[in-house]
Structure 1
Amino acid sequence: MFQDDIFYKGGDHAVLLLPGLSSTPLEMRPVAKALHRDGYTVWVPHIEGYGLGAPCADWHAWVAAAREKYRELWATHETVSLCGLCIGATLCLAVAQEEPDVMALSLLSVTLVYDGWTIPWYYPLIDLAFHTPLRRYYRYHEKAPFGLKNEVLRARVAKSMSLHDASEIGAASLPLAHLYHARRLAAHVRARLDRVTADCLVIHAVDDDTSSPHNARIVYDGVSSKVKQKCLLGESYHILTMDNERETVADETRRFFRDAIARRTGAATSETRIISKALLRAKRRHAAA
């Protein structure tokens, strides 16, 4: 019910969007619609063995499948940019490390380290547990707030997970294999961040419950992109594409991709800019006081 690809035919510039681990294309639909309104061809694929509803493939297969989707778009479009959420953002980085023609990246809640405030203390033992009989039995059960600060959306997701064992943001629980291969992918990507040269936008919530803003700093400091921007949000948790600031996320992504295309055609200059909406709000409150 949640697994169908989203594909919107547009113009000569395309965007491949990758949802989070064991999640669904619906998770990326708000950003996909905004990009399509700007004229992009947009594809949010279901990747077998990565997305919801299939036994876990290893992380090498995830990267190979994502690169195949990228190349399909590259063969028929002038430029292709990538946008991903959580491990989907990490997967975008893995593709960009191998595909130097990637136009631009929008990395939402990028996750190289699961260090948010809802992550259990034993999470670092995942690698050890994977090599024991626990790999056949253990599942990590999603729980409130489900990556959502918006209470109405959170209640809707909780109801769907109780009725269907899944929702548009993914499975109600994750097998150990998914967590293990996500960690292996993150380690692979982190060791090769300097291979990323595409224009890079990193958007992260200050109060991300799954991966702290430390992840955004790692990526921002590690990539070799000449143009890179960081945007910190203060009214959302992990699922930025659906939470309170989803319109801001879509708008910042649209703007960044538009400017990247303009820079390639010589219509704009390359300039590093760090955006922090949470910081701006804090400064305004301080000034008012």
Structure 2
Amino acid sequence: MLVGAEPFAHEGSDDIGVLLCHGFTSTPQSMRAWAEHLAEAGCTVRCPLLPGHGSRWQDLNRTTWHDWYGAVERELDELRGRCRSVFVFGLSMGGTLTLRLAEEHPDIAGIVLVNPSVMTLRKEAKLLPVISRVVPSLAAIAGDIAKPDVVELAYSRLPLRGMASLQQLWREVREDLGAVRQPLLLLHSATDHVVEPENSEIVLNEVSSEDVTEVVLGDSYHVATLDHDAPRIFSDSVDFAHRVHDERVKEFA
């Protein structure tokens, strides 16, 4: 395991539990400050290291989206047995996994998405299932951060078999976006060199959630949890979780 890629766990309140999901080729390091902020706010927090991540990029080519999803679903099950209201927060592919969890587990209290991905407009992506059989990797997509001297701990290459599996997850998630009914806070960067803005538009237009808040981050790139707008993400997500939890308590009182 890469130093700094360790999973994060904190035992806090039995009221609010939060599962954090990191992005493709990345690690919990991109979510650690967020996780620590949630812990300081009293939440019980889990941020696992996804299979194939945090070691060598070749390892990611040996996993599929089912492995990544299985890892976050196990953490979700543990939190659901411990906390009254369980939330899932995700960045990029972590947002994709968050949406899939919300589709399949309607008891999730609410979700927070930061620059989620459900598709790409890149023309070469259509050839990925074929190219990935002969080309193992391309240049990395990590480190899209506006803030100077901030580094994302992620792979230096983009594993193409893993990327092809992510495409399969996108298709699964998009087909069922209407099943997402939980309160939703979606924060997306005005400038993102990895995930096109159409991704957030699709999510906002196709989920069935009635409680939806959209926030545009004007001073961050893709990895916004490590960027200038990180404090806004952290504070807004805590406020969101407390509001939704309090509303649930009143509803079921």
TM-score (ref. length: structure 1) = 0.80
User: How far is the alpha carbon of 1:217 from its aligned partner?
Assistant: 1.1
Which of 44, 47, 51 is matched with 1:48 structurally? 51
Distance in 1, Cα, partners of 2:78 & 2:86: 10
Aligned twin of 2:9: 7
User: How far is the alpha carbon of 1:104 from its aligned partner?
Assistant: 0.8
Aligned twin of 1:216: 200
Contact 1:114 1:210 in 2 (8 A): no
Whether 1:149 and 2:146 are equivalent positions in the alignment is yes
Distance in 1, Cα, partners of 2:162 & 2:241: 31
SS in 2 for 1:231: strand
Indicate the larger mover: 82-91 or 4-13: 4-13
Q: Deviations over 1:1-53 (max 9, x none)?
A: 1332111211011100011012111110121111112110111111223x222
Aligned twin of 2:211: 227
Distance in 1, Cα, partners of 2:21 & 2:64: 17
Which of 22, 27, 30 is matched with 1:27 structurally? 30
Which of 189, 192, 202 is matched with 2:186 structurally? 202
SS in 1 for 2:107: coil
Q: Deviations over 1:126-147 (max 9, x none)?
A: 12323x4x1xx3312226x821
Q: Which residues of 2 match residues 110-125 of structure 1 at below 5 A? A: 110-115=116-121, 122-125=124-127
Distance in 1, Cα, partners of 2:36 & 2:105: 25
Aligned twin of 2:225: 241
Aligned twin of 1:276: none
SS in 2 for 1:236: coil
Q: Which residues of 2 match residues 75-224 of structure 1 at below 5 A? A: 75-115=81-121, 122-130=124-132, 132=133, 134=134, 137-142=135-140, 146-153=143-150, 157=151, 167-168=152-153, 170-224=154-208
Distance in 2, Cα, partners of 1:123 & 1:149: 26
SS in 2 for 1:171: coil
Runs of 4+ with deviation above 3 angstroms: none
User: How far is the alpha carbon of 1:180 from its aligned partner?
Assistant: 0.4
User: How far is the alpha carbon of 1:197 from its aligned partner?
Assistant: 1.4
Distance in 1, Cα, partners of 2:138 & 2:20: 25
User: How far is the alpha carbon of 1:87 from its aligned partner?
Assistant: 0.3
Q: Percent identity?
A: 27
Whether 1:67 and 2:70 are equivalent positions in the alignment is no
Distance in 2, Cα, partners of 1:95 & 1:190: 13
Q: Which structure 1 segments of 5+ residues have no match? A: 158-166, 268-289
Write the letter of the residue equivalent to 2:114.
L
Aligned residues: 244
Contact 1:204 1:231 in 2 (8 A): yes
Q: Which structure 2 segments of 5+ residues have no match? A: none
Contact 2:27 2:50 in 1 (8 A): no
Contact 2:48 2:71 in 1 (8 A): no
Distance in 1, Cα, partners of 2:206 & 2:161: 28
Indicate the larger mover: 258-267 or 173-182: 258-267
SS in 2 for 1:100: coil
Larger Rg: 1
Indicate the larger mover: 31-40 or 57-66: 57-66
Distance in 2, Cα, partners of 1:142 & 1:252: 30
Q: Deviations over 1:178-198 (max 9, x none)?
A: 110111111110110011111
Contact 1:3 1:52 in 2 (8 A): yes
Contact 1:206 1:212 in 2 (8 A): no
Write the letter of the residue equivalent to 1:24.
T
